[in-house]
Amino acid sequence: MLETNNQNIYFPAFVNPAVENEQTVHRDRLAKPRLDVLQPLRDWLDSLDIQNRKLARFIAQTIPAQCPFERNIVLFGRKIAHIPPLCKLNPLYDQLVGLRFRALCYLADVCGEDIRSYC
């Protein structure tokens, strides 16, 4: 126990370090390794290399630039509810956004296309 400004501060980890070690071991025993079934698909999407103009255009047109599910519900000119973007609930969201970005970069850098129509 340490006294500062008339307040008691307890440092149980320093007083009895065995208690902290037991808690850490117990917590580690409860944590089970989880199998991620989507990891091979994530790896494949991350490693996909865009080398075809048609494929890059298809990807840029198929994957939306913004979440299509986000909406404001308006009744009589007043916003009564907001539906948040649900795309981030997609477990492959980051990989799909990265794939779209690589497709747009290929179209702009290699093909010299104007990509403003895809945004």
The pLDDT of residue 45 = 94
Could you tell me if residue 18 is inside a domain? no
Could you tell me if residue 12 is inside a domain? no
Structural domain harbouring 49: 38-118
The pLDDT of residue 20 = 53
**Percentage of the chain exceeding pLDDT 90:** 46
The pLDDT of residue 84 = 86
- Run of H or E including 2: strand 2-4
Is the distance from CB of 86 to CB of 69 less than 8 angstroms?
yes
Number of structural domains found in the chain: 1
